[in-house]
Copies of this chain bind each other. A is one copy, B any other.
Amino acid sequence: MQARSKLKSPEKFIRPLIRNIKGYIPGEQPQESRVIKLNTNENPTPPSPKVLQAIKKATDYRLRLYPNPNAKKLRQALAKLHRCKPENIIIGNGSDELLALATRCFVEPRTANTKTQKKISKQTIQYFTPSYSLYPILANIHGARKKEFKLIKGYGLPDKKLLSKGNWDFQAALTYITTPNAPSGAGYKTSKLAKLCKIQDGIVILDEAYADFAEETALELAFRFPNVIISRTFSKAYSLCSQRIGYFIAHPKIITALDKIRDSYNTNELGQAAALATLDDLKYYKRHFKRIIKTRNQTSKILESIGFDVIPSQTNFIFVKPKGLQAKELFTKLREKKILTRWFDTKACRSWLRITIGTEREMDKFLLSTKAIVENHKQR
């Protein structure tokens, strides 16, 4: 241990690119108990009993073996569900892994002396603001150029005319679109997304992490356009955050390219087993989606009734602008009451709070606390 303190710093061995970036800051995962956790969009419902049973059944001497490197059974089951072929599907260690993989598959790292627009586009990762806060981090890690474009009022998608007038890059190597949007919860029409995908001469990832809570899915676009990837996950809607299973649906050639640079054993065997069992019990989950949507709509109404702005949500969370106090203050006061929500310190999000929909009971407590904090603030 002593020797270590005398060591020279290894800074010089780290790439300047990496030295100069910041990592992603995940939502708090508290160790303390009795916390109401409305901060990372987890489903309040436990996984189906059949899923837990399937994991336990697979927990035996076989764990000594490597997982199936191609998640063959899971891809077959997903292909059946989505009416495509296993060749249209790649499984990731959560969809986050695949979102990162895409940067390395489709985007050239930036080099200093790029002069033509064509070369710049090849190095560009593009996304709307606000959207999933991981995208700029992934661009930074890869050394790509970032291009941000503000969503229109109500967090809607801009049309071609607006994009043309603005700074949109129609040749960007990679465009991420969170649909429905996070953190706002706003949903998008497939017809509108189709127009965007059609005019884009580069890969478009439609990140459908929350699609199960939405009115529409744009899944069909992965089969209509060679440049479109649909991203899905078992984490949110299917209560399997802990098990790290997400997937992409796209043209087989896109999948093959991603597959070449994927870690062979990127998904754990119990995760594969859990996801498979999930697909065998979709009824269980669909019942809970309905409940969450109902709770979401009720919570939204109540918050509106006390003067909060609430974006109509098509997800399992809501984006709200408090009345009478700053979002950050409400966030902090709720944290003191052991209620975790998510506040993003960016220009587009600073006035807003993102609240995951928990159980009815949790949302009652959240509403009670929120009302008390607002009242208390008024009286000061």
Contacts and interface: CB of A to CB of B under 8 A. Distances in A.
A141 B104 contact: yes
Interface in A79-117: 83-84, 93-94, 96-97, 100, 104-109, 111
Copies of this chain, whole number: 2
Contacts of A280: none
B42 A263 contact: no
A226 B69 contact: no
Interface stretch (A249-257, A289-297, A324-332): A249-257
Nearest to A265: B94
* Interface residue SS majority, chain A: loop
B265 A244 contact: yes
Interface residues of A, number: 95
A13 B173 contact: yes
Contact of A64 (B63, B108, B240): B240
A315 to B, nearest CB: 16
A315 B61 CA distance: 21
Interface stretch (A51-59, A146-154, A208-216, A301-309): A51-59
A197 interface: no
A226 B10 contact: yes
A316 to B, nearest CB: 12
Interface string A340-375: 000000000000000000000000000000000000
A183 interface: no
Contacts of A8: 226
A63 B42 contact: no
A133 B103 CA distance: 24
Contact of A13 (B18, B61, B203): B203
A60 to B, nearest CB: 7
Nearest to A21: B260
A166 interface: no
Interface of A: 1, 3-4, 7-11, 13-15, 18-19, 21-24, 26-27, 29, 31, 37, 40, 42-47, 51-52, 55-56, 59-69, 72, 83-84, 93-94, 96-97, 100, 104-109, 111, 141, 143, 173, 202-203, 223-227, 235, 239-244, 250-251, 253-254, 257, 259-271, 274
Given A15-B105, A23-B259, A243-B270, 9 more contacts: A10-B203, A14-B254, A15-B107, A18-B104, A46-B63, A64-B242, A111-B111, A244-B267, A268-B270
24 contacts: A1-B84, A3-B224, A7-B224, A7-B251, A10-B254, A14-B253, A15-B104, A15-B107, A18-B104, A26-B69, A29-B65, A29-B69, A37-B65, A47-B61, A51-B63, A55-B270, A59-B59, A63-B240, A63-B242, A64-B242, A65-B242, A243-B268, A243-B269, A244-B265
